Chains A and B, each alone.
Chain A
């Protein structure tokens, strides 16, 4: 079983739409959680950390449900520039486990 599972998509949404991505992880001892963004042919870059209480950064909201071992990312008012692959990342000790990513395309 993979450490981190994500729906690969693709998600194709119109500008201005709200879109949500989900991710599950297998190890209940996992300590830290992140969403990374990866543009085509570029390196992954940290989008935001995910805290137990949930956290928001502008149009982006991340949620963590430890009981269900589930992480989510909500993007409101989608922009064309949001088109990318979003990677769910789980940290256990010094190991970082990456999901395979969810592809998002925002359509004009």
Chain B
């Protein structure tokens, strides 16, 4: 299994631009999580899906952030418009039903200038 796949691995963009982060969970996993990690705040859960349905988006910082999961093998996290304070590493993780551990993708390092 290839594990959780994220793209791009690095993204540098200017303030005000739209940013789209992509994630492919491990095949057969029915939970998908989006996290953001910064030095100051550590790893924060933004949103998670179960069977492609968003279950809890209380961690999404504001309306500029949106996430979708159109099918079991693909999810996107979009920031529009982006701001410098959005600079962070964004991780996607997946988990199988009945399993406790999450498996993380390699992350997308976002820099907004």
Given A94-B55, A94-B56, check contact A34 B43 (CB 8 Å).
no
With the chains together, A84 CA to B55 CA distance in Å?
32
Instruction: Spot the interface stretch: A15-23, A42-50, A74-82.
Output: A42-50
- Report the contact-size class of chain B (Cβ under 8 Å from the partner): 20 to 34
- Whether A42 contacts B100 by the Cβ 8 Å rule is no
Interface secondary structure of B, over-half rule = strand
- Complex Cα distance, B101 from A43, in Å, reads 14
A44 contacts B100, CB within 8 Å? no
Look across to chain A and name the residue whose beta carbon is closest to the beta carbon of B31.
A94
A43-B91, A43-B107, A96-B33 known; A101+B56 contact, CB < 8 A: no
Q: Which residues of A contact B (CB under 8 A)?
A: 32, 34, 42-46, 49, 87, 91, 94-101
